Structure 1
Amino acid sequence: MATLTPSPLVIAVSGHRALHADDFARLRAQLASALEALAQAAPLDCLSPLAAGADQLFAEQVLALQARLGAGRVRLLAPLPMPEAAYIASQEQPGATSFRDSYLPLRGRAQAVFEVPADGGPLDGAAPYVRLGDYLAARAGLLVAVWDGDTSAGRQPGGTFDVVMRYLAAPGRTVLHLPARRADSAASPAQALPAMLTLDDQGRLRRDEAPGSLARWLCAACG
């Protein structure tokens, strides 16, 4: 009798482009631990647009896990909000190549790189990033948010807070939140523990930091 291959669990990332230097080591460890646990339950298709900061940190840990388990178990897929040349230009500071230099090696190791269809929508402003957020929300079984968790700031279309809320708008959705300060933050981290985020009946974020919360989510999601 043929052995059935489990369907991939689709994991997407959204987060700050400029992360606080003091948070990198913790975030790497938390991402590595979470991805390892997820990969034990099912093959992973990991969606990262490969923007600077959180996206690339996530992609690096995906590729490290892929190197151990193989591309048959863990894949890196890179959906882009616009044509690649325009995306690189939009991320780069004038006269600099730092984004290109960090993006291209990751792009070269991804199993797929593709543009999210515009479907006749606007090609400028926040619209491509809103489409990207909708694409991630529609396809991901779990969203990883590498984010400071600030809900008091304005909800910028296509920003991480916006992507989190779009994702959680669908019933039964959960976000894995890895607290991360912005690079320019002078404050000590208010939170450092991973948490599972859901929405309560009033549409407010509910945070579960209890040990084993990701494992419990996995049991429910993967049977």
Structure 2
Amino acid sequence: MTLAVTGHMDLTEDSVPLVRAALDTVLRRHSAEAGLVGVSCLARGSDALFAEAVLAHGGRLVVVVPSEDYRRDHVGADHAPVFDRLAAAADEVVVLPYRTAGRPAYDAANAVLLQRADRLVAVWNGEPPSGMGGGTADAVLEAREAGLPVDVVWPEGARRG
């Protein structure tokens, strides 16, 4: 079972344990199935929480890096240790052939997530797309249009910062 993740990056501090517990519940349902694989871009917030949960449940991790400059120019210093630790724990790291991060790279990363997934886990508050592309709502809509099952995770009390 391969689960990909999309989700909000700007979770409030109080939301992190709520989302972590909700992700554990979702992964517990799927970790009994042989060969749990999680696919994540490792962005701060939901992506990283999902990746940590996949590893904690004994799954394999695949990391999709949207562009060649993503780690250097788009991962903040406060998130870099988490990003690096999770990337080092991954079975596979796929760096997309975009020189710089931006809408085309993020859209392509979402496409790779969906192509590799049996299901999408969306840490999503249900709000519509922002119109900027590459976001959580965009990935959910694309998954649904492709017929990919989506598990929405947004526990009571979760908030964006």
SS in 1 for 2:137: helix
Given candidates 150, 175, 196, the residue that maps to 2:127 is 150
Q: Is the 8 A contact 2:66 2:101 kept in 1?
A: no
Q: Give the equivalent residue in structure 2 for 1:82.
A: 67
- After TM superposition, the score normalised by the length of structure 2 is 0.89
CA distance in 1 between counterparts of 2:101 and 2:33 reads 39
Q: Deviations along 1:161-182, whole A, 9 cap, x unmatched? A: 11111111113x2211111421
Q: Which residue of 1 aligns with 2:110?
A: 133
Unaligned runs of 5+ in 2: none
Cα RMSD after superposing both structures:
1.8
Residues 156, 162 of structure 1: 8 Å contact kept: no
Does the aligned pair in 1 maintain the 2:66–2:95 contact within 8 Å? yes
Q: Which amino acid aligns with 1:129?
A: Y
How many residues in Structure 1 have an aligned counterpart in Structure 2?
A: 158
Name which structure has the greater RCO, CA cutoff 8 Å, separation 6+.
Answer: 2
Match of 1:102 in 2: 82
Contact 1:126 1:158 in 2 (8 A): yes
TM-score, normalisation: structure 1: 0.66
Greater Cα radius of gyration, structure 1 or 2: 1
Structure 1 segments (4+ residues) deviating >4 Å: none
Mind listing any 5+ residue stretches in structure 1 that lack a counterpart? 1-8, 67-73, 184-223
Q: Percent identity?
A: 34
CA distance in 2: counterparts of 1:124 and 1:27, whole angstroms: 27
**1:1-223 to 2 correspondence within 5 Å?**
9-66=1-58, 74-83=59-68, 86-93=69-76, 97-117=77-97, 123-151=100-128, 154-171=130-147, 173-179=148-154, 180-183=158-161
